[in-house]
Structure 1
Amino acid sequence: MSVNWGRLFTAMITPYDQAGEVDEQKAAELAEHLLQHGSDGLVLWGTTGESPTLSAVEKDRLFVAVKERIGTKGTLIAGTGTNGF
């Protein structure tokens, strides 16, 4: 069975607010913008998205916010990288 996820995936940055907290609203806006401008899917919390520095709670909240915003408009992949083993 073949699955077509799309051709262009963008490794998304993780936006922060003025207090240094993860800005889920800005992340959702950015995700939608990227999908509207040619990306077929997004990678959240890759090394571009600060994965080693995000807590599990931050990752969960970020994933939920982006998924709620984009729905089925694109493929969403959760990064699994880390700096440690």
Structure 2
Amino acid sequence: MNRSEREAAVRRIMEQGTVAVPPELCADAVRHGDRLLRRWRLVRRVLWLLAWAAAVAFAVWAADAHPWVEPPSQTTPPVTGW
């Protein structure tokens, strides 16, 4: 389909007139949008809850394991009895 054929097809479509829109289309779109908003809001809340739980779990682990402290050396035994 070349450019002139496409233009002719577009003109035919535009000359056909408007199509009647079903009256319940707007209400259906609003309901669908509300459903999507509620779903995304729930997903965001769950993700924030998971992030908060991960932060708390990390803080508890770090407080117990002390990962910032260097582990004791295992290469030489401690010197005792001097």
Does the pair score TM above 0.5? no
Structure number with the bigger relative contact order (C-alpha 8 A, sep ≥ 6) is 1
TM-score (norm 2): 0.22
The structure with the greater share of residues assigned to helix is 2
The structure with the greater share of residues assigned to strand is 1
